[in-house]
Amino acid sequence: MFDLVIRNGTVIDGTGNPGRIADVALRDGRILTVGEVAERCENEIDATGLVVAPGFVDVHTHFDAQVFWDTTLSPSPLHGVTTVISGNCGFTIAPLEPEHGDYMMQMLARVEGMPLTSLQEGVPWDWRTFGEYLDSIDGTLMPNAGFLVGHSALRRTVMGERSVGEFASDDELQAMKQLLAESISAGGLGFSSSWAKTHNDADGEAVPSRHASQKELIELCSVLRDSDAVALEFIPTIERFDDEVYQLLTDMSVAADKPLNWNVIFANARQADLIEEKLQASDFAARQGGRVIALTAPMPAVSRLCFESGFLLDTLHGWGEPMALPNEEKMALLSDPEQRRKLNEDAQKPSAFRGVARWERLTVGEVTKEGLKHLEGQTIGDIAEQTGNTPWDTLCEIVVEDGLKTGLYPPAAGDNDESWALRQALWNDDRCLIGASDAGAHLDFLATFNYSTYLLAAARDRDLLSLESAVNKLTDVPARLYGLKDRGRIEEGWWADLVIFDAAEVAPAEVEVREDLPGGAWRLYSEAVGVHHVFINGEHAVRNGEFTDARPGALLRSGRDTERVSATA
């Protein structure tokens, strides 16, 4: 009668209700019974002492390219993630005209930290429409996956090279709206865009979506009204919000009649007033019939800077063009005393991330040259004292000798008691959604893909959330926001997306470097501790912390796999 029975686990159903000891029986990919199951089954798992929870739903990923070279979408399922939403920040790879493939590859390599060799060797680039892209990966993936339709892809397809530097004409805007409507009808879950100053293409120019007018954004959002789409995702600015930003976010949500989530809040007590100012966007929108939600990461901001990619460094005053140079030219620039001096002078001028330019505070992480290995773990300031050079000159000499590949780590921002208290408040604020993993992107820059196990460990070790509340925020809350049909809870008749873990041990493992990408490229990677089993649509995807060969993930399409969502519901 049953395909599998999970016995004697503490079932935390995702709703926030208290956990209870129960059996969970599965059949045909769904949950058939939750309670006491007397009938024996050929396949059983004894979950005594373990938690049985719904699979986690990660709404902010960038797996759009990785789906072709790694169908497990690792490492996310190892951390209990059973459903991912990709196509965020406007950076999808569909729709696509053949002549634009190279631009899109170069852009993704620059803005999302995906190695260019991996994009060239691991992705076929043989589709044109959004529907063709979805069809090409349907039935191939381990986790369930849904995709937003990206603004930069729409703009490039319709406007070509004019997508960078010019507003759309009325005819071009209509063509984009039509293309978006077709993409939603093919299964796109919504629309994403970005105005973030950190988002530049391979030439150092603002990505296509950053050249859109407010009118263009709002008109494109209006396509979602009365459609099966469920979501908007947008980065309005990395700086302060003002009334104009509040109104734009509101107008986008109201035009679409869909919730809009913006990216991202990293909690830091020093910025508590600024964070509250940004959260006022939710209150502002609610008064006008919109719904605006902030994505917040559950961990302190720990980033890895690298002069080879130049990401984040290119936000320093005057650094956009230099960080877009080919490696050889970049190394020559950093080797020239006069140009080096000018770069440092520019870096000290006001900019959103000027704090990055406190070179003495950077810690040397991974280096590739054996002769530099002794520097790993030391700060640039300490090394400079030993050599008698300035911190900036010391940094340049190390980076150039290492071929620009050196990993450099600023101090973690927001890792103090006050910031943890703020983080707890944000987790419990209805204006926030825990997420922003960026899994699949920034492969040499961030390791936030482990956000789910990090949240569970932090909530436990710091006593910030009950286990039931933490699970609710990883499962039912994002699933309901995106209208995912029969997912996000352990409930009879719902899809059997389940994670079985040890609540006392669950945590992310240490972050490491793994060289497993197409073209020989590497990435930051982390497995999980305490996650024993993951089931996706009733099939065993992770067993004792290891991937199986199952690829049971559903390609989530708007309308078929989602329920109607409204900004006012």
For the chain, what are the domain ranges?
1-86+467-480+493-547, 89-301+413-466, 313-409
pLDDT over 90 (residue 45): yes
Q: Of 335, 316, 81, 356, whose CA–CA distance to 198 is shortest?
A: 316
pLDDT computed for residue 301 by the predictor: 81
List helix spans (H) across 138-209: 151-159, 170-185
Q: Of 188, 256, 183, whose CA–CA distance to 223 is shortest?
A: 256
Q: What angle do CA 220, 198, 88 make, to 5 degrees?
A: 40
CA distance 6 to 23: 6
The reported pTM is 0.92
Question: Hey, which residues does 10 pair with through a beta bridge?
Answer: 21, 51
Domain 89-301+413-466 in this protein, CATH class: alpha beta
**Could you check whether 1-86+467-480+493-547 and 89-301+413-466 share the same CATH topology?**
no
Strands 51-54 and 498-501: antiparallel
CA distance 49 to 561: 34
pLDDT tens, position by position, 325-337: 999 999 999 999 9
CA distance 321 to 314: 8
pLDDT computed for residue 309 by the predictor: 85
Q: What is the mean pLDDT of residues 524-536?
A: 97
* Packing angle of the helix pair 214-222, 151-159 (nearest 10 deg): 100
pLDDT tens, position by position, 444-475: 888 999 999 999 999 999 999 999 999 999 99
pLDDT computed for residue 303 by the predictor: 84
Give how far the C-alpha of residue 401 lies from the chain's centroid of Cα atoms, to the nearest Å: 32
Q: What is the mean pLDDT of residues 2-8?
A: 98
The residue to which tokens 């039935």 are assigned: 139
What count of residues does the chain have?
Answer: 569
* Tokens of residue 166, six digits: 């010019």
pLDDT computed for residue 413 by the predictor: 86
CA distance 505 to 53: 15
List helix spans (H) across 45-114: 66-69, 101-111
546 burial type by CB count under 10 A (0-12 exposed, 13-18 middle, 19+ buried):
exposed
Torsion of CA 86, 91, 95, 101, to 10 degrees: -120
The residue to which tokens 């994403």 are assigned: 192
Question: Burial code of 53-76, b = ≥16 C-beta within 10 A, e = fewer?
Answer: bbbbbbbbbbbbbbbbebbbbbbb
The percent of residues above 90 in pLDDT, for the chain, comes to 92
More confident residue, 465 or 315: 465
Q: Is the peptide bond before 264 cis (omega within 30 degrees of 0)?
A: yes
pLDDT tens, position by position, 393-444: 999 999 999 999 999 999 988 999 999 999 999 999 999 999 999 999 999 8
Give how far the C-alpha of residue 376 lies from the chain's centroid of Cα atoms, to the nearest Å: 28
**Which of 2-6, 315-319, 379-383, 564-568 is predicted with the least confidence, judged by mean pLDDT?**
315-319
**Which of 201-210, 285-294, 453-462 is predicted with the least confidence, judged by mean pLDDT?**
201-210
Question: Hey, which residues does 529 pair with through a beta bridge?
Answer: 507
Which CATH code of 3.40.50.300, 2.30.40.10, 3.40.1550.10, 3.20.20.70 fits the domain covering 1-86+467-480+493-547? 2.30.40.10
pLDDT over 80 (residue 352): no
